[in-house]
């Protein structure tokens, strides 16, 4: 059994923000795998998981910084081995449009990932990291320093521009494809194919 968790913040206010790409990938997976859907569970604690054949998809309904509590309760409920926990989240250190699959890495300042590591007591899970930072070749602006936002906490709660949103939609589809490939062929093969 695999647990695939998209990170984000609940509510319409945050739906299209940079911090919510994890939620959007789970939505894409849910719509692209309808034949695997067994049932929608009632809301349990702060979660709304969907159970597929061998896969639990979840979008924690707690806010980002408390994601670990929800993930821990799902890991326990479904008896998920930590190596079968896959977390999808935004990554401010990657340029927009990039995907990186990693495992056993530190949180690098991502509060949702920090919360999961703290609650589980390990970082030995798989992460699908989606770049959300404007490309470095763009001219600097008053809000950016050396290709990074001056205020990361504020930046991740901003919506993508119209042009960025086009890229985001493509990368959400590509991430869903990457996860489907990983389920069939394994994470190591997916890393070789998609980490570029």
Q: Mind listing the pLDDT tens digit for each residue in 64-102?
A: 889 999 999 999 998 999 999 999 999 998 999 999 999
Q: What is the pLDDT of residue 172?
A: 95
What's the structural domain count of the chain? 1
Q: What is the pLDDT of residue 41?
A: 42
Give the structural domain span for 117.
2-194
Instruction: Report CA 142 to chain centroid distance, whole Å.
Output: 28
Q: What is the pLDDT of residue 179?
A: 92
Q: What is the 3-state secondary structure (H, E, C) of the chain?
A: CEEEEECCCCCHHHCCEHHHHHHHHHHHHHHHCHHHEEEECCCECCECCEEECCEEEECCCCCHHHHHHHHHHHHHHHCCCHHHEEEEEEEEEEECCCEEEEECCCCCCCHHHHHHHHHHCCCCCEEEEEEEECCCCCCCCCCEECCEECCHHHHCCCECCHHHHHHHHHHHHHHHHHHHHHHHHCHHHHHHHHCC
- pLDDT tens by residue, 130-180: 999 876 545 445 566 555 666 777 888 889 889 999 999 999 999 999 998
Q: Which residues are the active-site residues?
A: 19
Please state, for a pLDDT cut of 90, what percent of the chain lies above it: 54
- 47 close to 66: Cβ distance less than 8 angstroms: no
Q: How far apart are CA 158 and CA 76, in angstroms?
A: 34
Domain containing residue 180: CATH number: 3.40.50.1470
* Spatial strand order in the sheet of 55-58: 37-40, 50-52, 55-58, 2-6, 85-95, 126-133, 99-103
Residue with tokens 């896969």: 55
Please indicate whether residue 21 or residue 152 has the higher confidence score (pLDDT).
21
Q: What is the pLDDT of residue 45?
A: 37
Instruction: Report CA 38 to chain centroid distance, whole Å.
Output: 23
């Amino acid at each position: 059994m695999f647990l695939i968790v998209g990170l984000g913040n609940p509510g319409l206010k945050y739906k299209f923000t940079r911090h919510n790409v994890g939620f959007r990938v789970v939505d894409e997976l849910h719509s692209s795998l309808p034949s695997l859907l067994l049932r929608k569970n009632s809301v349990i604690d702060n979660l709304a998981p969907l159970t597929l054949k061998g896969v639990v998809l979840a979008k924690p309904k707690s806010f980002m910084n408390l994601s670990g509590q929800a993930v821990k309760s799902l890991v326990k409920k479904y008896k998920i081995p930590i190596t079968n926990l896959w977390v999808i989240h935004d990554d401010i250190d990657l340029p927009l449009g990039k995907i990186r699959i990693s495992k056993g890495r530190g949180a690098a300042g991502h509060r949702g990932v920090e919360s999961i590591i703290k609650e589980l007591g390990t970082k030995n899970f798989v992460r699908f990291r989606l770049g959300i930072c404007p490309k470095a070749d763009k001219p600097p602006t008053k809000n950016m320093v050396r290709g990074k936002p001056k205020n990361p906490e504020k930046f991740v709660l901003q919506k993508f521009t119209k042009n960025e949103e086009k890229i985001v939609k493509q990368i959400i589809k590509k991430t869903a494809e990457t996860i489907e490939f990983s389920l069939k062929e394994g994470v190591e093969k997916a890393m070789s194919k998609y980490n570029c």
